[in-house]
Amino acid sequence: MAATTGFDTLDMSLYFGTPDQKQDFCKSLLGLLKARGCVKIQNHGIPNEKIHQLFDMTRKFFNLPFEEKMKAKHPPQANPNRGYSYVGQENVASISGYEKGRNPGTTRDIKETIDIGSKNDDLVDNIWIPEESLPGFRAS
């Protein structure tokens, strides 16, 4: 684990190494996410071209009119965690207080998200906008 531009970096190739390396990687990943909320992953095997394509498609999605994004609206209940959540819909900040026995706060998150799971998930379907709203979004 090395510090780079303010982010801790983990080597994903260790996940595919020995069982001990995999366990160490997972412990480090969990620890960094709990402590800092983010981590940089290297040697993940995803081509840069694909990463740039995904960021481009994400920008295009969030630039859609609100009404279009709401066609993939996250269900009112917490689960399944799929679909579009608008600014103020989520209250993730209250989770840490809840875990400590405190009542959830009234502060809402100032972010919008699109939650998409694996295409191989047989238990929970993804919620998509229509293809004509953003051609290629689902395929990317």
* Co-location of 69 and 88 in the same domain: yes
* Co-location of 88 and 61 in the same domain: yes
Predicted model pTM: 0.72
**Beta strands 113-115; 2-4: pairing state:** unpaired
Query: What pLDDT score does 105 carry?
Result: 58
**61: its two tokens:** 């999605």
* Co-location of 51 and 39 in the same domain: no
* Co-location of 62 and 24 in the same domain: no
- How many beta carbons lie within 10 A of that of residue 85, not counting itself? 20
Which helix (H) or strand (E) segment holds residue 25: the answer is helix 19-36
* Co-location of 87 and 21 in the same domain: no
**Beta strands 83-85; 7-11: pairing state:** unpaired
* Co-location of 40 and 63 in the same domain: no
* Co-location of 131 and 86 in the same domain: yes
Q: Which domain holds residue 5?
A: 1-45
* Co-location of 79 and 108 in the same domain: yes
pLDDT tens digit at each of 140 positions of the chain: 444 467 899 999 999 999 999 999 999 999 999 998 889 999 999 999 999 999 999 999 999 999 999 999 998 877 788 999 887 676 666 655 555 555 555 666 667 889 999 989 999 999 999 999 999 999 88
* Co-location of 20 and 37 in the same domain: yes
* Co-location of 71 and 127 in the same domain: yes
**47: its two tokens:** 């081509």
Closest CA to 67 of 51, 84, 46: 84
* Co-location of 21 and 90 in the same domain: no
Query: What pLDDT score does 73 carry?
Result: 93
Query: Do 69 and 76 touch, CB atoms closer than 8 A?
Result: no
Helix (H, G, I), strand (E, B) or coil at 139: coil
Query: What pLDDT score does 4 carry?
Result: 46
* Co-location of 21 and 55 in the same domain: no
Number of domains in the chain: 2
